[in-house]
Amino acid sequence: MKLSPLQNDRAAGTLVAMAAGDALGAGYEFGAPLPDGTPVAMTGGGPFGFAPAEWTDDTSMALPLAECLLDQAGTVAAGEPVDWTPAVRGWASWARDAKDVGSQTRAVISAARALVERSAAESKPAETDDGAPTAADFLAASGAHLERTGRGGGNGSLMRTAPIALAFLGRPEAELARTAAEASALTHADPDAVDACVLWCLAIRHAVLSGELDVRVGLTFVGAARVGLWEERIAVAEASRPADFSNNGWVVEAFQGAWSAIASTASANVGPAHLRAALEDAVRGGRDTDTVAAIAGGLLGAAYGLSSVPFEWRRRLHGWPGLRALDLQRIGMELGRGEGPRLGEWPAVERYDYSAWVSAAATDVVAHPADPGVLLGAAPALQGHGYDAVVSLCRVGTADVKVAAEDHARFWLIDSALADSNAHVEFVLQDAADAVATFRSEGKRVLLHCVRMESRTPTVAALYGAKVRGVSGVEALEEVRAVLPAASPNRAFMEVLRRV
């Protein structure tokens, strides 16, 4: 599907924001609610000993779904079901060493393995030749679990459902609803779990395409007999706070807790501020904090995009199977296209070619007039030396930068004054200047660059200079122009500088 720049940003941000909420809540899991305004951070720890900024089972279980959908992108005809066997095998492999696996999910995985072992012991022909469980094994185990216990409504399918919405941006809503229901039933066959996944996926799809937060857009797909029930549940969420849902291990209260975090913080915040406020409030709600915040994060990222997720949250975000925020950005974009991976294309390309815009010999840098520890350069300056951290304001390849991943701040920023080019332009510019300040506070020598250091670089350099010297943005820009005479920020960037 051909996405606009803003839609592409939102697809890229869906999984990143989901994982950010997940990692933000990891250290508070099973804790009591926190008072309003209590600071929360990606401290790690918690009952399962996660590292700081490490995502948990919520994001880990979403990734096999994403890879499964990518592998089959463009090959599944309209109306045909997805083959979920690669995804469930990914779950089975992950669960062997995972720090945390939900109780219902673990029970279903164990039961699916037992079905395979029983089949082998009875010498029945296996569906596969390697003895690994299939999607059919999971469906059978999930259905048997619900029938045996009467309890199949945990939140484990809702927490991982976001990739499905991205893969169906260009497909009819009914196809997305059916696929979300099928994916839930692999481990959570209870109607509440199925409905919750359908509603949340359709809300994410709507958010990516329109930028709007509306959890009611999918109500027509939960069945006429249950629409009134879900309308009531949504209304209760909107009249409540996350802490009011003490049983948020149940999918309904996890859904309500996530939506209440979004709804209760919406009136006082917009864009990036809303994303932060809602995810922090979801964590303060207590109990299953990582899951409620991950659920909320997927929808918030779909509405506000990668540009709304602060660098401080993206910087060290990581988790199974050895991925980081940039990988989640790539996967989200690829899912949104609906065509599968594009090898050799940004953001997965190793080297980004700017030869049409700037000479490869343009490796010289100049020192920032307010701080000689900040180097200003064009894209070819990445091939130079003498820097410990990088702030990139344009696309770069995965092998272009010579610092550790956590010392490379990437920003989604197009050099354009058009309203449909950049989301949250002032936030992104300020966040980039803050990234420079963060690296400098750590004693790092920073390379700040865009393609030709004519618009984006001088703008962020001026914002950083304004912070350092306590002058206006326009005054700081004049100081930058003393070392970058060609500096000419576009109209939208100049408006930001005039407000500083």
Residue 463 C-alpha from the chain's centroid: 27
Does the pLDDT of residue 127 top 60, yes or no? no
According to the model, what pLDDT value does residue 75 have? 74
On whether both 217 and 180 belong to a single domain, the answer is yes
On whether both 391 and 439 belong to a single domain, the answer is yes
According to the model, what pLDDT value does residue 53 have? 98
Question: Is 355 contained in some domain?
Answer: no
Q: Half-sphere exposure of residue 476, counting CA atoms within 13 Å on the CB side?
A: 28
According to the model, what pLDDT value does residue 438 have? 98
Predicted confidence band at 79 (pLDDT cuts at 50, 70, 90)? confident
Comparing 75 with 234, the larger pLDDT belongs to: 234
Comparing 1 with 127, the larger pLDDT belongs to: 1
According to the model, what pLDDT value does residue 224 have? 93
Question: Is 426 contained in some domain?
Answer: yes
pLDDT in tens, 375-425: 999 999 999 878 999 999 999 998 999 899 999 999 999 999 999 999 999
Predicted confidence band at 426 (pLDDT cuts at 50, 70, 90)? very high
According to the model, what pLDDT value does residue 344 have? 73
pLDDT in tens, 189-247: 999 999 999 999 999 999 999 999 999 999 999 999 999 999 999 999 999 999 999 99
Question: Is 358 contained in some domain?
Answer: no
Question: Is 344 contained in some domain?
Answer: no
Does the pLDDT of residue 309 top 50, yes or no? yes
Distance in angstroms (rounded) separating the CA atoms of residues 280 and 27: 12
**Mean pLDDT (whole number) for 258-277:** 97
On whether both 333 and 406 belong to a single domain, the answer is no
- Contact between residue 180 and residue 143 where contact means Cβ atoms under 8 Å apart: no
Give the relative orientation of helices 456-469 and 491-499 as an angle to the nearest 10 degrees.
10
Predicted confidence band at 125 (pLDDT cuts at 50, 70, 90)? low
Which residues lie closer than 8 Å to 407 by C-beta, 6 or more apart?
Answer: 388, 389, 390, 439, 444
Nearest to 394 by CA among 415, 408, 419, 368: 415
User: Residue 297 is which amino acid?
Assistant: G
According to the model, what pLDDT value does residue 106 have? 95
Decide: residue 171, CB within 10 A, 0-12 exposed, 13-18 middle, 19+ buried. Answer: middle
According to the model, what pLDDT value does residue 117 have? 87
**Domain ends where: 337, 357, 391?**
337
- Show the domain range for 402: 365-499
Q: What angle do CA 326, 332, 337 make, to 5 degrees?
A: 130
According to the model, what pLDDT value does residue 250 have? 97
Does the pLDDT of residue 124 top 80, yes or no? no
On whether both 181 and 100 belong to a single domain, the answer is yes
According to the model, what pLDDT value does residue 129 have? 47
On whether both 303 and 241 belong to a single domain, the answer is yes
Question: Is 283 contained in some domain?
Answer: yes
On whether both 373 and 332 belong to a single domain, the answer is no
pLDDT in tens, 2-26: 999 999 999 999 999 999 999 999 9
According to the model, what pLDDT value does residue 128 have? 45
On whether both 322 and 370 belong to a single domain, the answer is no
Mean pLDDT of the chain: 95
Nearest to 330 by CA among 15, 24, 64: 15
pLDDT in tens, 135-158: 999 999 999 999 998 877 999 999
According to the model, what pLDDT value does residue 78 have? 74
According to the model, what pLDDT value does residue 195 have? 98
Number of domains in the chain: 2
Q: Half-sphere exposure of residue 491, counting CA atoms within 13 Å on the CB side?
A: 4
On whether both 172 and 317 belong to a single domain, the answer is yes
Residue 103 C-alpha from the chain's centroid: 25
On whether both 277 and 329 belong to a single domain, the answer is yes
| Token pair of 306 as six digits | 């990668």
Comparing 124 with 313, the larger pLDDT belongs to: 313
Cross-strand pairs, 371: 368
CATH number of the structural domain spanning residue 401: 3.90.190.10
Window from 71-75, 267-271, 285-289, 386-390 with minimum mean pLDDT: 71-75
Question: Is 350 contained in some domain?
Answer: no
Does the pLDDT of residue 341 top 80, yes or no? no
| Token pair of 253 as six digits | 């209260």
Window from 62-71, 78-87, 167-176, 271-280 with minimum mean pLDDT: 78-87
> pLDDT exceeding 90 applies to what percent of the chain?
88
Decide: residue 382, CB within 10 A, 0-12 exposed, 13-18 middle, 19+ buried. Answer: buried
On whether both 203 and 310 belong to a single domain, the answer is yes
Does the pLDDT of residue 126 top 70, yes or no? no
Which residues lie closer than 8 Å to 383 by C-beta, 6 or more apart?
Answer: 360, 363, 400
On whether both 152 and 294 belong to a single domain, the answer is yes
On whether both 319 and 464 belong to a single domain, the answer is no
CATH number of the structural domain spanning residue 215: 1.10.4080.10
